[in-house]
Amino acid sequence: MRVKADEMRTMSQEMLVLAGATEEEAAIITDVLVDTSLRGIDSHGVRAITRYISELQSGKLQSEAPIKVLRDGPTSAMWDAGAAIGFVAGTKAMDAAIQKARRYQTGSVGYMGTGHLGALYYYTTQAVNEDLIGIVLQRGAAHRVAPYGGVEGRLGTNPFAIGIPAGEERPLFLDMATNAVATGHFLTMRIRGQPVPDGWIISREGQWVHEYDNAAVDDGRIAPVSFGGVTNEYKGYGIKVILEALCGAIGVGCSLDEKGFGCLFMAIDPSAYCDIQDFKTRVDSMIRHVKSSSKRGGFQEILMPGEPELLEKEKRLQEGIYIDDVFWKSIVKKVDELGMDINKYVTA
């Protein structure tokens, strides 16, 4: 199923308002989900709208929940977002980091809260749009991943995202979990019948699993991401542990509890180090140098981090957002439960 972005945006906002969100909250949630789907990150996009509506209806997510500012200094702050909507609190946290960076060249907001924040790249775009470097580090809210050499969940998915502005070239965006596969992507691949490769899922006996296993996610038997084949799993494990300690100690846990997400939202002003135009020109030069490499067989073009998603966004703005049938049926059901007429929003 393909749905036009504008149609999905209008329908999503009304669904969220009916579920208890304010107009502002509905607009922010929708913008995150629609943009994520436009970039082809279907695991974290509009397919999950029903989840957030259910969490609003149940009270797991709370509209207009207060955000407690625990500490606040010129360049840093610490927030407790509690049960606030993650998309909304995260957007405000990065806004606060940006305002500090505008005044002092660097700004960061430590963050803890129980609301899911979706794909982290989105928050880095807030900084990039202001000609700032955006960084988001996160300690995941549950023990989904086994340590290197282990078979039981002890670590979060612990993703991170970095956005860097460029001049004439497309900006750079890196957004990745530090386990072999994000849990949302794992679900999407299962729906599409895509295979499970070596190095992703561990059996209770410590062997690689090649069939989808929901219990593996619940037990935390997802492996850390590997660099250079399954034998280099320890590298992703190392990054994951550092993020666990950094964001967990600042916010929640260090794997000692599962009450929520611990994050660092950071904005850095390149003009603190050099002229902003010089910075962007150098980034452009680096991008062109990397792209000038001779290509391996089967590769038509060398793409930079985030570029496949930006190209997919251009395509989906024309063709519409792709939604797997099982997720579309769930959305249609939720629309009906909310007393809405889907034909009012979506054209065939």
pLDDT tens-digit series, residues 99-123: 999 999 999 999 999 999 999 999 9
Q: Looking at the predicted structure, is the pLDDT value of residue 213 above 80?
A: no
pLDDT digits (tens, 9 = 90+) for 61-85: 999 999 999 999 999 999 999 999 9
Distances (CA, A) of 2 to 26, 37, 292, 325: 22, 11, 35, 10
Buried b (16+ CB within 10 A) or exposed e, 249-276: ebbbbbbeeeebbbbbbbbbbbeeeeeb
Please give the pLDDT value at position 110: 96
240-299 tens-digit pLDDT: 999 999 988 887 766 676 678 999 999 999 999 999 999 999 999 999 999 999 999 999
Q: Tell me the pLDDT band of 3, cut-offs 50, 70 and 90.
A: very high
pLDDT category of residue 186 using cuts at 50, 70 and 90: confident
pLDDT (0 to 100) of residue 63: 96
- What the chain holds in terms of domains, given with CATH numbers, is 2-61+307-344 (1.10.1530.10), 68-277 (3.30.1370.60)
Q: Is 146 left (phi over 0), alpha (psi -120 to 50) or beta?
A: beta
Q: What is the pLDDT of residue 287?
A: 97
Residue 177 to residue 151: CA distance in whole angstroms: 19
Stated pTM of the model: 0.92
127-161 pLDDT tens trace: 999 999 999 999 988 888 889 888 888 888 899 99
Residue recorded with tokens 């943009």? 35
Q: What is the DSSP letter of 222?
A: B
- Whether 323 and 47 have beta carbons less than 8 Å apart is answered as yes
- Closest among 335, 267, 305 to 344, alpha carbons compared: 335
